[in-house]
Structure 1
Amino acid sequence: MRTTPIGAPVDLGAGPLGKAVADPKGTLWVPVPRKGTVVPFPHGKKARGIKVASGGGRPESLLMTLADGRPVVTDTRAGTVTVLRHTGRGMRFQLPDAITKAPADAVLVPSATAGDVVPVLARTSGRMSLVNTRTGSLLSASLGSGSHDYGTPQVLGSKVYVPDHTNGTLKVYDTEAAAITEPVKVTGKRGKLSLFVRDGLLWVNDEDNETAVVINSSGRVNRVHKYDTDVPSGRKRDEDTPSGDDARRDPDPGRDAPDTAPQAPSGPGRDESPSGPDGPAGKPDKGGAARKPVPPEKPQPPEKPKDEEEPEKPKDEEEPARTEPPGTPQAQSGPGTVTVTFAPSPGVKPTGYRLEGAPAGAEVKPGKVGPDGPFTFEVKGGSCDQQYSFSVVAEFAGGETAESGRSVPTRPCVAPGAPQNVKTAFPQGGRGIDLSWQAPANAGNGTKYAVSGTGFAAQNDLARPRAALRGLKNNRTYDITVAARNAAGAGGTTPVRVDLSNVRNLRIADNVADGNEVGIRSVPSTKEGGRLGEVPPGETPPIKVICQVKGTEETHDSFGWKSDIWDRIEWEGKTAYVSDLWVSTTRHKEGQFSPEVWQCD
């Protein structure tokens, strides 16, 4: 295998680079935070950098993700997530304030996801947004803060798994239940957990611990004991090597670890029984060296009487259940809507639930959720420029209520897609372009449009899907870009190339058979240039007229008309000129420009 460079080094400028990713097509995407760009390297060759952020950033300010193989960059300073293409930027999504106000180095995103959804976590506050890079929808939820040391999240199925380095567990957020479910214990000890998804499975590992975890899309947990010897290539631990963190093999179970005796796995190297929130199953090594036993003095004497008192537990169960608030709701943005989902109250069953926080004038369906659900509200209305936070109030018999925590503030809109079906028209005489287009399907109130290109001033903040460009030059080609945006982000752009020309199919006219031919000139003058050809007397062949321009004044030799208007034409594959006196324009006899033919620029 070759390990030497195959090309010259590439200078991407001063300052540290961000972490690069390589897409399935072999293109390397390198973030350059100092310049606010991402530089693609298709087929190993540097391409033009794509501007995605303001310059002067640090490596942690531009984070790359491969979302289902597509490159996506998160600007942690500006709070944006942008889909990249080889030709430039694609969709751009604006994250909620709960994420954008977090320090840049406290925002975490995975380097790759198996699907289109990219989780973005503010690890200090525990606020999280799931960005669907196809639809533009954002689902926001709160994991809670406290003393947790969160790691980079991963999505598998309907669940988001977030490592908690303080206790060696995975916090699990179920988007279907809109609730935090029971955690998955990986090691039960402080340590850094790394996660990645491959082939529909979530792999979780702590390199300083003997246990790893594999989770399938339905949430089933299988534990992999990395130092089993009764497997191919199994590593056998030296019997003299003590277990524990010092050996980086088999850590002390610790106080959070379950009793090892009743939970031995059914097969070598993996526990095939479904595992829930319990910690890793204990297991003696095949080589005969048993795990470090739990010291006999560890179980405290008071615990035994506590166990003996368990038969009296039904007394506690007879106590009346308390009224509890519902779970903190999750909010998912949609075009003109916010869908609010929540977990029901765990205590006394309420008579129903109502939503708080809807903007004035908004329509909330249903007005009240029954005690058995479905536990979802849909809010229609509000401004895309505003973010709204919702809570759910449980109502109980007797008039008592209990209110949930508030959701992550969310906008009632999504980043619009690219404008569709762009059409062009021209004003009389040209020198302008009238554009119209179809709004994106997900465009709601607050969508604005921008038209840009070279050779004219850009038009921004257009409220309607149309634009009028003026002051252009005829017989030029203009490359125009039409884009849509709102407060939730910017949609993809629609490029259009417009040929601002008006070629007319006319004929030679009034060519009397008087023995004088009609001259075809190289310039609009009989005093300069020369002849490129001629039309014989009496003939009126078709010609293509490009535009009209002023030149030397000529006199019709049969009728005496005078005109200084010349027509630029196509003649035998070349550009040529003929006096308008001998062309079938509407005003050739009057010596004036004809409205059906544009003037040359």
Structure 2
Amino acid sequence: MEVVFTPSGQGEATGYSLKGAPPGADVTPAKAGPDGPYQFRITGGRCDQEYTFRVAAEYDGGEAVSEPSIPVRPCVAPGKPAGFTAKGKNHGADLTWSAPENAKDGGVTYTLEGPGEHPSDPDGTGAEVTGLKNGQSYTWTLRAKNEAGESQERAEATADLRPPSAQFRNANNDHRNTLIRPGPGPGGEAGRIPKGEYITMTVICQQRGAPYTDTDTGMSSNVWNKVESSRGSGWLNDVLMDTPKGGFPAAPLWECE
């Protein structure tokens, strides 16, 4: 807080002092000389309280005190959080932001609203969202607040949870044609990869479906890959694909929904 005043026109003042500073606050200067500077800077106080100040002109025989200042707070409500972004991931998103421009010194908390499971009052400048369905877009809003109030404007961020596709080849196609299925199960035909042919195709996402066992290798899986290829588009079981193994979904792939 800063108090600026004009020198007294009543006699020869020996100096000026400030009245009304909060307990424990730092007042600079502690006392102003008769030639100035004609201002005081006050550091401290509580943001949820207003303060009024008076300037006392000191004389050899006493002092003359000014009228009180208008009520002020040592801080103002923060502005909109800066740089609010959302990065989608499998069934969730990572949210990040920066403190408002007028609140870089701290003392700010946040209120987060939007879909999914996340803290409503996150600590720091980031939060994780979980529990979302893939294949959709989601939007969150964020406000900053301190003891002086809440930001008038909300920051907004959107993440698109459409699964990112990747390129992989088929596998285990030495003994018979590989059938591309119309759904995540071993029935029907949406395409055919001739025996001995290995092609690179686009894998859109993975989904659990009906169990399948490859009769040539004995390998089994209930994970199906949604694919687009020159031999047809549909679903291929994971044992017939050269995709990463060991998890579901296997990074960098996402679950379809």
TM surpasses 0.5 = yes
Q: For the Cα contact (< 8 Å) 2:118–2:127, is it kept in 1? A: no
For the structure 1 residues 458 and 526, does the alpha-carbon distance in structure 2 shift closer, same or farther, using more than 3 Å as the test?
closer
Q: Is the 8 A contact 2:138 2:160 kept in 1?
A: yes
Counterpart of 1:403 in structure 2 is 65
Matches within 5 A, 1:102-501: 338-398=1-61, 400-425=62-87, 430-443=90-103, 444-453=105-114, 455-456=115-116, 459-486=119-146, 487-501=148-162
Task: State whether residues 553 and 564 of structure 1, in contact with CA within 8 Å, keep that contact through their aligned partners in structure 2.
Answer: yes
User: TM (normalized to structure 2)?
Assistant: 0.84
Q: Which amino acid aligns with 1:342?
A: F
Structure with more of its chain in strand, by fraction? 2
* TM-score where L is the length of structure 1: 0.39
Of 183, 203, 207, which residue of structure 2 is paired with 1:549?
207
TM-aligned CA deviation for residue 347 of structure 1: 0.6
Question: What CA distance in whole angstroms lies between the structure 2 residues aligned with 1:526 and 1:417?
Answer: 57
Write the distance in 2 (CA, Å) between the matches of 1:383 and 1:565: 59
Task: Determine if contact 2:118/2:130 at 8 Å carries over to the other structure.
Answer: no
Distance in 1 (alpha carbons) for counterparts of 2:233 and 2:24: 64
What is the CA deviation profile of residues 167-223 of structure 1, one whole-angstrom value per residue up to 9, with x for unaligned ones? Answer: xxxxxxxxxxxxxxxxxxxxxxxxxxxxxxxxxxxxxxxxxxxxxxxxxxxxxxxxx
Distance 1:474 1:401, change over 3 A: same
Q: Which residue of 1 aligns with 2:189?
A: 531
Taking structure 1 as reference, are residues 461 and 579 closer, same or farther at Cα in structure 2, changes over 3 Å only?
closer
Q: How far is 1:579 from its partner?
A: 0.9
2:254 is matched with which residue?
598
CA contact (8 A) 1:474 1:600 kept: yes
| CA-to-aligned-CA distance 1:125-172 (integer Å, 9 cap, x gap) | xxxxxxxxxxxxxxxxxxxxxxxxxxxxxxxxxxxxxxxxxxxxxxxx
From 164, 175, 178, give the equivalent of 1:503: 164
Tell me which amino acid in the other structure corresponds to 1:593: F
Post-superposition CA distance 1:549-586 (Å, at most 9, x none) = 221221224312111111223457x9732211122223
Report deviation, 1:423: 4.0
Structure 2 segments unaligned to the other structure (5+ residues) = none
Amino acid at match of 1:599: E
* Residues 502 and 546 in structure 1, CA contact (< 8 A), matched pair in contact too: yes
Against the structure 1 CA distance between its residues 581 and 517, is the aligned structure 2 distance closer, same or farther, given a 3 Å change threshold?
A: same
Counterpart contact for 1:512–1:558, Cα < 8 Å? no
Q: Distance in 2 between matches of 1:384 and 1:570?
A: 59
Letter in 1 for 2:213: T
Mark the runs of 5 or more structure 1 residues left unpaired by the alignment. 1-337
Q: Which has the larger radius of gyration?
A: 1
The CA deviation at 1:478 is 0.8
Deviation of the 1:594 alpha carbon: 4.6
1:210-242 CA-to-partner distances (Å, cap 9, x unmatched) read xxxxxxxxxxxxxxxxxxxxxxxxxxxxxxxxx
Aligned length: 253
Residues 166 and 204 of structure 2 are in contact (CA less than 8 Å); yes or no, is this contact kept in structure 1? Answer: no
1:545 Cα offset (Å): 2.7
Distance 2:227 2:31 in 1: 74
2: CA distance between counterparts of 1:367 and 1:500?
59
Aligned CA RMSD, in angstroms, stands at: 2.7
Q: Is this contact kept in 2: 1:475–1:501, CA < 8 A?
A: yes
* Partner deviation per Cα, 1:85-112 (whole Å, 9 max, x = no partner): xxxxxxxxxxxxxxxxxxxxxxxxxxxx
CA distance in 2 between counterparts of 1:579 and 1:586 reads 13
Contact 2:21 2:27 in 1 (8 A): yes
CA distance in 2, matches of 1:526, 1:385: 66
CA pair 385-445 structure 1, distance change in 2 beyond 3 A? farther
Distance in 2 separating the partners of 1:391 and 1:461: 39
Matched residue SS, 1:492: coil
* Secondary structure of residue in 2 paired with 1:547: strand
CA shift, 1:538, in A, is 2.8
The corresponding residue for 1:578 is 236
Shift of 1:488: 4.1
Counterpart AA for 1:408: I
Helix, strand or coil at the partner of 1:525: coil
8 Å Cα contact 1:384-1:446 kept in structure 2: no
CA offsets, 1:526-555, max 9 Å, x none?
23xx43323333333333333322212212
The CA distance in 1 between the partners of 2:227 and 2:19, in whole Å, is 71
Distance change in 2, residues 1:359/1:521 (3 Å): farther
Return the offset for 1:355.
1.6
Q: Hey, what does 1:210 align to over in structure 2? A: none
Structure 1 residues 365, 544: closer, same or farther in 2, change over 3 A?
A: farther
Q: How many angstroms apart in 2 are the aligned matches of 1:352 and 1:384?
A: 30
Higher relative contact order (CA 8 A, sep 6+): 2
- SS of the equivalent of 2:224 reads strand
